[in-house]
Structure 1
Amino acid sequence: MTIIAAFPYGKKDRSALHLAGLLARSSGEPVRIVSIVPEQAKSMIPNGSELQFAAWSKERGRRAIAEAEHAAAEICPDVSTTAVAVAHRSRAKGLIAEAERSAASMIVLGSGTEGTRGRIRVSATSDRLLHSAPLPVALAPRGFTAEAGAQIERVTCSFRGDRGSEAVLAKTAEISQSVDARLRVATFGVAGRTVQPASLDAESRRREYVDHLRKLQSAAVDGVDEERRVEEAVGIGKDWKGALGAVDWHGAEILVIGSSSEGRRSRVFLGSNAARIIRHSPVLVLVVP
Structure 2
Amino acid sequence: MPVLVGYSPHKEDLGALDLACQLARSDGESVHAVSVLPQVWPTVVAGHTDREFEAWVTETGAGCAAEAAAHLGVHDDVPFEASWVSGRSVPQALLDRAAAIGAELVVVGSGDDVAHGQIGITSKTDRLLHSSDVPIVIAPRGYQAGPGATITRITVAFRGDDATWSLLDNVARIARRTRASTRVVTFAIRSRPMYPRRVSGAEDMVHEAWVQQAREEQAEAAAHLRSLGFTDDTLTLAVAEGRSWGGAMDSLDWERGDVLVVGSSSTHRLSQVFLGSSAAKILRHSPVPVVVVR
TM-score category by the smaller chain? over 0.9
> Which residue does 1:53 correspond to in 2?
53
Q: Is the 8 A contact 2:111 2:119 kept in 1?
A: no
Q: What TM-score do you get using the length of structure 1 for normalisation? A: 0.93
Letter of the aligned partner of 2:239 in structure 1?
V
User: How does 1:179-218 map onto structure 2 within 5 Å?
Assistant: 179-192=178-191, 199-200=200-201, 203-218=204-219
Pairwise CA distance, 1:205:
3.9
Q: Is the 8 A contact 2:191 2:244 kept in 1?
A: no
Letter of the aligned partner of 1:39 in structure 2?
Q
Matched residues in 2 for 1:44 and 1:73: separation? Answer: 41
> Which residue does 1:255 correspond to in 2?
260
Pairwise CA distance, 1:178:
2.8
Matched residues in 1 for 2:135 and 2:82: separation? Answer: 20
Pairwise CA distance, 1:282:
1.2
User: How does 1:1-289 map onto structure 2 within 5 Å?
Assistant: 1-74=1-74, 76-192=75-191, 199-200=200-201, 203-224=204-225, 226-229=228-231, 230-264=235-269, 266-289=271-294
Matched residues in 1 for 2:69 and 2:159: separation? Answer: 40
Letter of the aligned partner of 1:151 in structure 2?
T
Pairwise CA distance, 1:113:
3.7
Pairwise CA distance, 1:91:
1.0
Q: Is the 8 A contact 1:155 1:175 kept in 2?
A: no
Q: Is the 8 A contact 1:113 1:143 kept in 2?
A: no
> 3-state DSSP class of the match of 2:4?
strand
Matched residues in 1 for 2:70 and 2:96: separation? Answer: 25
Matched residues in 2 for 1:94 and 1:278: separation? Answer: 24
Matched residues in 2 for 1:265 and 1:168: separation? Answer: 17
Deviation string 1:114-155 (CA, Å, 9 cap, x unpaired) is 311111111111111111111000011111101321111100
Q: Is the 8 A contact 1:262 1:269 kept in 2?
A: no
Letter of the aligned partner of 1:227 in structure 2?
G
Matched residues in 1 for 2:150 and 2:38: separation? Answer: 35
Q: Is the 8 A contact 1:12 1:113 kept in 2?
A: no
Matched residues in 1 for 2:201 and 2:255: separation? Answer: 37
Matched residues in 2 for 1:277 and 1:234: separation? Answer: 14
Q: Is the 8 A contact 1:23 1:179 kept in 2?
A: no
Matched residues in 1 for 2:49 and 2:252: separation? Answer: 57
> Which is worse superposed, 44-53 or 272-281?
44-53
Q: Is the 8 A contact 1:120 1:140 kept in 2?
A: yes
For structure 2, list consecutive stretches of 5 or more residues without a partner in the other structure.
none
Pairwise CA distance, 1:256:
0.4
Q: Is the 8 A contact 1:155 1:253 kept in 2?
A: yes
Matched residues in 1 for 2:42 and 2:221: separation? Answer: 52
> Which is worse superposed, 131-140 or 260-269?
260-269
Matched residues in 2 for 1:264 and 1:29: separation? Answer: 32
> Which is worse superposed, 175-184 or 91-100?
175-184
Q: What TM-score do you get using the length of structure 2 for normalisation? A: 0.91
Q: Is the 8 A contact 1:157 1:186 kept in 2?
A: yes
Matched residues in 2 for 1:264 and 1:181: separation? Answer: 32
Pairwise CA distance, 1:111:
1.2
Matched residues in 1 for 2:271 and 2:180: separation? Answer: 26
> 3-state DSSP class of the match of 2:91?
helix
Deviation string 1:25-70 (CA, Å, 9 cap, x unpaired) is 1111000011111112223433332222211111111111111111
Tell me the matched-pair count: 285
Pairwise CA distance, 1:21:
0.9
Matched residues in 1 for 2:104 and 2:28: separation? Answer: 12
Counting aligned pairs with the same residue, the percent is: 38
Matched residues in 2 for 1:163 and 1:137: separation? Answer: 21
Letter of the aligned partner of 2:219 in structure 1?
S
Pairwise CA distance, 1:265:
5.3
For structure 1, list consecutive stretches of 5 or more residues without a partner in the other structure.
none
